[in-house]
Amino acid sequence: MRIEAAKEKVLHLPMTPMILNSLRETARLYTTHYSTMIEGNQLEPNQIQKVLKHEGHFPGREREEHEVKGYYMALTQVEKWAAKGIKITEKHIETLHALVMGNGREHVQSSKYRDGQNVIRDARTKAIICMPPEAKDVNELMAALINWINYNKELPCPLVAGIAHYQFATIHPYYDGNGRTARLLTTLILYLGGYDLKGIYSLEEYYARNLGAYYNAISIGESHNYYMGRAESDITKWIEYFIEGMACSFESVFKHMSEAGKKGVSDQSELLKKLDPKQRKALELFGQFEVVSSRQIGELFSYKPRTSAALCAQWVKGGFLSVVNFSNKGRKYKLSDRYEDLLK
């Protein structure tokens, strides 16, 4: 009930796109910081910001720089998929993991599941938290998890996300990068289920604030061995921890948005209501560029050229965009006069 109450408050809170974009970018930064910090990355938010903007380099800490670039790239991909409303497949999981491990490269080859055994250890004490299933069982277990995520009709989205997080961590399908990929999968499930909260919350911050509680909650069962009790464990403790984290994160977002909204901004909510989710997402692009191409629109939503061109044509017809350059090859678009005020 706390999650739903905070969600409704945030969705109806007056906010300009420019302030919203600022809050969203801050959330991306802190999500990247905290999720990589859980794995031992010690770069501070201001350092991460410099790395992501290519404004700074920290000799001897290249591995940490690669980690934050990879996570940020994967988080950006999650947002694109969510805007597109995809149906999650194993291919999406493999791509997420490849981006996480890809040092910030945009084009990566999908990761393959591990072909041997490994263990999950507490990053602080090095104690074994979980002994995952054998490699021969990973393919079947991952297929079953994705099928359950897509076709579960009984549980609300937050519970599906929490269970999926736990099960992914339990299967541990890769040698490295499982924790980061699990958290990204959780975010994708929540975003697709309508719990994106305008992209300005960070569950990772909740986890990282008390790593002991995170590990204690996810380390449950009679045995850490998958075949000796882990698979049949009562995961109530983890679910309670996860849902409490969502509630705290959502309530924190409402607090921050309320404070930002008091800074003398005009209420543009009525105009924003006329936009569909993809158009609201496109406002981010126009916040960076006055004029854009259909290719840039396509990259924002991971669309093919023909699809993005058709979308732009649809938006021009609906009065959202205006054509700046009418040539077929160099056609450019800007926001129509009616919506330009949203960026002021």
Residue 123 is part of a domain; what is its CATH number?
Answer: 1.10.3290.10
Question: Closest Cα to residue 230, out of 244, 216, 219, 214?
Answer: 219
Q: Cα(155)–Cα(137) distance, rounded to whole angstroms?
A: 26
Q: Of 242, 261, 280, which marks where a domain is finished?
A: 261
119 shares a domain with 12: yes
Per-residue pLDDT at 241: 93
How much is the pTM? Answer: 0.77
Q: Cα(215)–Cα(166) distance, rounded to whole angstroms?
A: 11
302 shares a domain with 256: no
218 shares a domain with 69: yes
Q: Cα(99)–Cα(32) distance, rounded to whole angstroms?
A: 13
Q: Cα(95)–Cα(88) distance, rounded to whole angstroms?
A: 11
Question: Closest Cα to residue 256, out of 1, 17, 6, 5?
Answer: 6
Tens-level pLDDT at each residue, the chain (344 residues): 999 999 988 877 766 666 677 777 888 888 999 899 988 888 888 888 888 888 778 888 888 999 999 999 999 999 889 988 999 999 999 999 999 998 767 778 889 999 998 887 766 777 777 788 999 999 999 999 999 999 988 899 999 999 999 999 889 999 999 999 999 999 999 999 999 887 888 888 888 887 888 888 877 666 677 877 777 788 999 999 999 999 999 998 888 777 766 654 555 666 666 778 788 888 878 877 888 998 889 888 888 889 999 999 999 999 999 998 777 677 899 998 888 777 66
Q: Note down the domain range covering 179.
A: 2-261
187 shares a domain with 162: yes
52 shares a domain with 108: yes
311 shares a domain with 190: no
Please report, for the domain that includes residue 315, its CATH number: 1.10.10.10
State the total domains in the chain: 2
207 shares a domain with 68: yes
338 shares a domain with 193: no
134 shares a domain with 168: yes
277 shares a domain with 210: no
301 shares a domain with 193: no
